[in-house]
Amino acid sequence: MSIPHFIEYLQLEKKYSPNTVQAYKTDLSAFQQFIRKEYDKDDILHVNYPQIRNWVVNLVNSGITNRSVNRKVASLKAYYRFLVKSDQLQSTPLANHKSLKIKKKIQIPFSEEEITDVISSIEPDSFKSSRNITIVSMFYATGIRRAELIGIKLQDVDLENGLIKVLGKRNKERYIPLLPELVRYLRLYLEFRGAVDLKNIKDFFITEKGDKIYETLVYRIINNYFSEASNKVKKSPHILRHSFATHLLAHGANLNSVKELLGHSSLAATQVYTHNNIAELSKVYKNSHPRENQE
């Protein structure tokens, strides 16, 4: 069976994260079960498009979103592209498949005032509050993803040079400059952290028990603070990332610079943050960030 070889290819050559690899395995396994049940086939190497189309129809009828269906089909597409690339197939049965239409989600960023209100409401006078204000500021001042923040190690933060090393998607490293305000929060947090880190762990952000911080806690921190300052429906780390990009561009940052800071692989992924009223994108990060001169 070629699926194990495909999974190995994703892990070793594409260097996908364990969660991404697991998603591919789950999607392929679900398709395999469908083909076995509907067509009495154990091998999905040689299937035709009508059979795949029936699977798509079955997924849609099950009630999952078109976005989720497209993601599952994308897993299948990648698998068949691998088979063609490795000369196990001459062509992919999904060559002419068109993705299902999906409604674009409107991501509404926090306003600069809302973010200022949240940051000014947190008094960093304890381990917990200093950690929380640092996390809020880190998201807004760097635009990093939640998984990237959780993955930061102590050695990744260079306070002397004002830089942080971030490990992004597909294990791609990038360096992001740190604003003076954030550096101050980081230094203060590290002072409190020293009294909590009794396990000598290398993760930068930890819990009050000295364990590595986790996804639901990070989400809860952001959601709780912004629930007090904003009436927007979504209040998540991703909205802070969205706010970071939107505010930089609104203040004149260069689109390519924002792309690099966000860790996007293509400019198209960054362009969702642009607006028609942005006439010129010329200045970059430090000259553009609304909190650069906060002393």
Identify which of 105, 30, 34 has the alpha carbon closest to the alpha carbon of residue 66: 105
Kindly report the backbone phi and psi dihedral angles of residue 12, in degrees, each rounded to the nearest multiple of 5, phi listed first: -90, -40
Q: Are 226 and 235 in contact (CB under 8 A)?
A: yes
User: Among this protein's residues, is 241 annotated catalytic?
Assistant: yes
Q: Are 100 and 52 in contact (CB under 8 A)?
A: no
User: Among this protein's residues, is 234 annotated catalytic?
Assistant: no
Kindly report the backbone phi and psi dihedral angles of residue 205, in degrees, each rounded to the nearest multiple of 5, phi listed first: -95, 125
Among the listed residues 131, 193, 241, 247, the single catalytic one is 241
DSSP H or E stretch at residue 114: helix 112-121
Sequence-distant (6+) residues with CB within 8 A of 295 are 180, 181
Q: How far apart are CA 74 and CA 66, in angstroms?
A: 12
Among the listed residues 25, 238, 283, 291, the single catalytic one is 238
User: Among this protein's residues, is 264 annotated catalytic?
Assistant: yes
Among the listed residues 242, 273, 285, 289, the single catalytic one is 273
User: Among this protein's residues, is 79 annotated catalytic?
Assistant: no
Identify which of 291, 293, 252 has the alpha carbon closest to the alpha carbon of residue 138: 291
Among the listed residues 71, 165, 169, 184, the single catalytic one is 169
Among the listed residues 247, 259, 264, 289, the single catalytic one is 264
Contacts 24+ apart (CB under 8 A), 86-95: 86/2, 86/5, 88/2, 88/45, 89/45, 93/47, 93/48, 93/49, 93/52, 94/49, 94/52
User: Among this protein's residues, is 238 annotated catalytic?
Assistant: yes
Name the 3-class secondary structure at 81: helix
Among the listed residues 145, 146, 247, 289, the single catalytic one is 145
Helices (H), 151-274: 180-196, 215-229, 237-250, 255-262, 267-270
User: Among this protein's residues, is 273 annotated catalytic?
Assistant: yes
The residue type of 65 is: T
Kindly report the backbone phi and psi dihedral angles of residue 157, in degrees, each rounded to the nearest multiple of 5, phi listed first: -100, 115
Residues identified as active-site: 145, 169, 238, 241, 264, 273
